[in-house]
Chains A and B, each alone.
Chain A
């Protein structure tokens, strides 16, 4: 299994909603990542988990809250988002941090 899966594929939420994005990989990778990608821009790193511990938080607002329940799963909890948070949210994993990253298909988020 060489795949990173993400759910849901699409999400529309209001600014008062709470929702979660999910990511899963079964490649035995010990590093997992969340990226945000706006249209026509490269992915921007948000968070890195290494061996289930938060390793990097790239000054992301607290309305985004990551969670790594185990080595295969990564969640991104969303609360009180703003319309400018609308973007494609990508999950990636790598064997260990800073090695080749493999991306999931992303969740397209629209905040109204």
Chain B
């Protein structure tokens, strides 16, 4: 399940299940979005990106969905593995501006 509070929002999933991490963005003019994965003690790692002229993009085991109507972005991870445990950040960019990062979601994969 997902919990939100004083700490970083956390999503706990069983190993092998699919994960869905959500991100609500604020700027309707944002035209480019990136998902980053940050493992403990490391820098953010690029996972997948999507431009505003698309609503879905697939990578290896990951899919990003973009719903511009409700300003919502999601990252789906298929067959979640222990190595997927990390904090996931979405980042949005308004054309001509710099990226703005979301608050992040911690994904915890249970054995």
Contact = CB atoms under 8 A, between A and B. Distances in A.
Interface of A: 4, 6, 40-43, 45, 48, 56, 90, 92, 97-98, 100-106, 108
Given A103-B43, A105-B42, A106-B42, A98 B101 contact: no
Contacts, number: 48
Interface residues of B, number: 22
B44 A98 contact: no
B97 A102 contact: no
SS of B interface (majority) = loop
Contacts of A48: 98
A43 B44 CA distance: 9
A109 to B, nearest CB: 14
B43 to A, nearest CB: 4
Contacts of A45: 98-99
Given A42-B104, A45-B98, A56-B98, A105 B8 contact: no
